[in-house]
Amino acid sequence: MADKDVISKSLIERLATCLITQLLKIDIVPGQIELLSTEYYRVEDRRADILVRIQSATDRSTCLLHLEIQNDNHPQMPLRMLRYYTDIRLRWSDEPLQQYLVYIGEKKLTMPDGIATLDYRYQVIDMRTIDCALLLGEDTPDALVLAILCDFKEKPAEDIIEYIIRRLYELTRDNETDFRRYYHMLEVLGKNRNLSATIQETRQMLTDFNIEELPSYQYVLERGMERGMEKGIETGIKQSMQQTAIQLIGKLDDQEIAKICKLPLAEIQALHANE
């Protein structure tokens, strides 16, 4: 399994609620999603991507939901899904099970939805055919990130990506860590659509964000003003900029970080030891 597959699936696991409620349209009790262990003990080490126990908001009944995230058209996917099915059923034999294959690859979906000779079926969700407006309209960070995998309906990719990034910033502007986390998700998932270059170009807009609006900057500035200590203000602001620079290392080039944080390039390079 490629590193990209592992990273993408790890990120999408955190977005399970959005996948279940917005794409699968399953009405569940909020907060009643229980992530179950998916490690099975055969000769090889295998894990189903996402296995959860959900509770219906209609009748409060529970069932198991298996989501398998796939980057490419695997020729033996039906057999793999069948093995997951039997493993899960053997462990939780008394609970209903629904299986979904969520395809996030770039090429046209060619995998079947089951094995006809066994009368075995599961549902396939092709993210390429989902109208991005569905997730953009939800206007939540999770939905916005997943929208990068959907159909842009002939709208320029640059416009969609710029909208996603700006909304992510607006929705998370009070939490710099959340913004960086969701932006990283966007970068990883964008690789599945060959949008890395476009996202990197749009990343330049980050430099347009007013660094003085960041909460950490405002906090230090206000504290300094309260104390009436000009030197304290300068020291506090510099420390804040250094912390911001450390957080941006690895996300932006050193020169871009130096420009945003208004610090010497040599100082940014020296901060690498603290990242």
Given a cut of 60, whether residue 1 has pLDDT beyond it is: no
User: Per-residue pLDDT tens for 81-101?
Assistant: 999 999 999 899 999 999 999
- What's the CA gap between 137 and 144, in Å, rounded? 9
With 50 as the cut, is the pLDDT of residue 224 above it?
Answer: no
**Domain-by-domain residue ranges, the chain?**
1-129, 210-274
- Cα dihedral 24, 25, 26, 30, rounded to 10, equals 110
CATH architecture of 1-129: 3-Layer(aba) Sandwich (3.40)
Q: What percent of the chain has pLDDT over 90?
A: 31
216, 243 in Cβ contact below 8 A?
yes
User: Who's near 149: CB < 8 A, 6+ residues apart?
Assistant: 104, 127, 128, 130, 189, 192, 193
Give pLDDT tens digits for 104-113.
Answer: 999 999 999 9
11-20, 127-136, 186-195: which range is least confident on average?
11-20
Q: Which of 119, 129, 206, 126 is nearest to 161 (CA)?
A: 206
The residue that leads in pLDDT, 108 or 215, is: 108
Question: Is the dihedral angle over the CA atoms 255, 256, 257, 262 positive or is it negative?
Answer: positive
Residue 194 Cα to chain centre, angstroms? 16
| 3-class secondary-structure state, position 64 | strand
The 10s digit of each residue's pLDDT in 55-88 is 988 899 999 999 998 999 999 999 999 999 999 9
pLDDT at residue 275 in the model: 57
Q: Where do the DSSP E strands lie in the chain?
A: 28-35, 39-41, 45-47, 50-56, 62-70, 97-103, 114-115, 120-121, 123-126
Q: For residue 221, what pLDDT is reported?
A: 43
DSSP reduced 3-state for 140: coil
Using the Cα atoms of residue 206, residue 185, residue 132 and residue 76 in order, give the sign of their dihedral: positive
CB 258 within 8 A of CB 264: yes
What pLDDT digit, counting tens, does each position of 3-29 carry? Answer: 444 444 455 556 777 888 888 888 888
